[in-house]
Amino acid sequence: MGMDLVLGIETSCDETAAAVVAADRRILSNVVLSQIDEHRLYGGVVPEIAARAHLDHLDAIIAEAMREAGIGFADLAAVAATGGPGLIGGVLVGATTAKAIALVHGLPFIGINHLEGHALTARLTDGIDFPYLLLLVSGGHCQLLAVEGAGRYRRLGTTIDDAVGEAFDKTAKLLDLGYPGGPALERAAEGGDPARFDLPRPMVGKPGCDFSFSGLKTAVRRRVEELGGALDEKARADLAASFQAAVAASLVDRSGRAIEAFEADHGAGRPFVVAGGVAANRTLRAALAGLAERRGMPFVAPPLGLCTDNAAMIAWAGQEKLALGQVDGLDFRPRPRWPL
């Protein structure tokens, strides 16, 4: 077809996803099947159920991505799949399927670090150059990174306990908001009074760029208990809004410090990027956009559907690796833990 196309596959958590992305940043298809209904009964993702659901659906999702892109496997330049970190049963399903396609069609296979998928999304959506400062906020991670190139990440800060998405999910559970917690909490907070509950602003004013969210979650639990456990609609909305305000203050403070460290190395005016599932939160996006504006940095946040898990970001990371000649053998071993 004359354009370099990469098929991406994402199966590291509870979405089964496949996408085709061109080297010129065009997304030819981006199919995401959420397993929310399979896991809702249990209030969270059940790894065994997730792995079996990926196995049940991945073939059809790949076929749909290829059909939407209007291509056959022979038109691909490579197949990329999430190789970790994540729930290993699901990662094995995705990576093994990708290897099989690569083997049959004589294509390179590329194992992608899921975090790298999130980290490079802004280059897919906005075409920005390196370096940039990245706040990566997802269900499993909360990090500030200087992104200096594909595969070149310098960590400026990380969480010392819970990831921020985890804090959203656990707090949503405390507030009886159901699963998945992040989007439910954001909805509940609409119209709530963020000033009603005086919750702690974790790490604000502390040196360094690390995060901590478990104390905030505990503070919310204490407020719920003080209210007698039975929350009315108003208390729930106010607590949700107060929680979001505390998270926003913490992220803004930590990111502000990271900007100083980043700009000492890379100068002023480089982009400030937010990525990962929690970056879909509008309150947090607005707070971070305000920070970027005050510091004179372009602010880049992917569209909501490319913040939460998807395969377009995996295909794109595959493009970046392919351009660097970094492909993997079929002996690539998926990794449940894989720091950037």
Annotated binding residues for substrate, written as ranges, equal: 136-140, 169, 182, 186, 281
List the single partner that 183 binds among Zn ion, ligand KG4, none, CB under 5 to 8 Å by kind: ligand KG4
Tokens of 260: 């100083």
Residue 94: which of Zn ion, ligand KG4, none does it interact with, CB under 5 to 8 A by kind?
none
Q: Which of 138, 143, 255, 310 binds Zn ion (CB under 5 A)?
A: 138
Cβ closer to ligand KG4: 72 or 305?
305
Of 179-218, binders to Zn ion (CB under 5 A) are: none
CB of 42 to ligand KG4, least distance (A): 15
Which residues participate in the annotated binding site for Fe cation? 114, 118, 309
Here the tokens at position 261 are 């460290």
Q: Could you report how far apart the first and last alpha carbons of the chain are, in Å?
A: 34
Among 113, 133, 138, residue whose Cα is nearest residue 306: 138
Return d(Cα 111, Cα 130) in angstroms, integer: 22
The residues near 119 (Cβ < 8 Å, ≥ 6 apart) are 134, 136, 145, 147, 153, 275, 340
Place of tokens 């998945």: 180
Which of Zn ion, ligand KG4, none does residue 84 bind (CB under 5 to 8 Å by kind)? none
Site size for Zn ion (CB under 5 A) = 2
Can you tell me the distance from the alpha carbon of 278 to that of 39, in angstroms, rounded to the nearest whole number?
19
**Could you give phi then psi for residue 144, rounded to 5 degrees?**
-110, 125
Residue 84 or 192 having the CB closest to Zn ion: 84
Q: Which residue has the tokens 């370099």?
A: 4
Nearer to Zn ion, 253 or 320 (CB): 320
Peptide bond into 180 cis (omega under 30): yes
Nearer to ligand KG4, 5 or 61 (CB): 61
Binding site for ligand KG4 (CB under 6 A): 13, 138-140, 165, 168-169, 180-183, 186, 276-278, 280-281, 308-309
Residue for token pair 């595969």: 151
User: Which residues, at least 6 apart from 328, have a Cβ–Cβ distance to it below 8 Å?
Assistant: 83, 108, 109, 110, 111
With tokens 């909490």, the residue in question is 185
Q: Which position among 166, 309, 320, 328 is part of the footprint of Zn ion (CB under 5 A)? A: 309
- Asked whether position 116 contacts Zn ion by CB under 5 A, the answer is no
- The option from Zn ion, ligand KG4, none interacting with 90 (CB < 5 to 8 A, set by class) reads none
Which of the listed partners (ligand KG4, Zn ion, none) does 165 bind, with a CB threshold of 5 to 8 Å by partner kind? ligand KG4
Contact pattern from residue 259 through residue 288 relative to Zn ion, giving x for each residue in contact according to CB under 5 A and a dash for the rest: ------------------------------
Task: Give the shortest CB-276-to-Zn ion separation in angstroms.
Answer: 6
Residue 181: name its binding partner from ligand KG4, Zn ion, none (Cβ under 5 to 8 Å by kind): ligand KG4
- Would you say 146 or 184 has its CB closer to ligand KG4? 184
Listed ranges 154-162, 247-255, 259-267, 307-315: which one lies at the site for Zn ion (CB under 5 A) = 307-315
Q: What is the DSSP letter of 325?
A: T
CB of residue 15 to Zn ion, shortest distance in Å: 9
Q: Are 11 and 56 in contact (CB under 8 A)?
A: no
166 lines the binding site for Zn ion (CB under 5 A): no
Coil/strand/helix, residue 296: coil
Which residue, 206, 203, 227, is CA-closest to 215? 203
Strand pairing category for 142-149 and 152-158: antiparallel
Taking the least distance from each CB to Zn ion, the nearer of 15 and 238 is 15
Residues 116, 340: contact at Cβ < 8 Å?
yes
| Residues 236, 175 contacting (CB under 8 angstroms) | yes
Using CB under 5 A, list all residues that contact Zn ion.
Answer: 138, 309
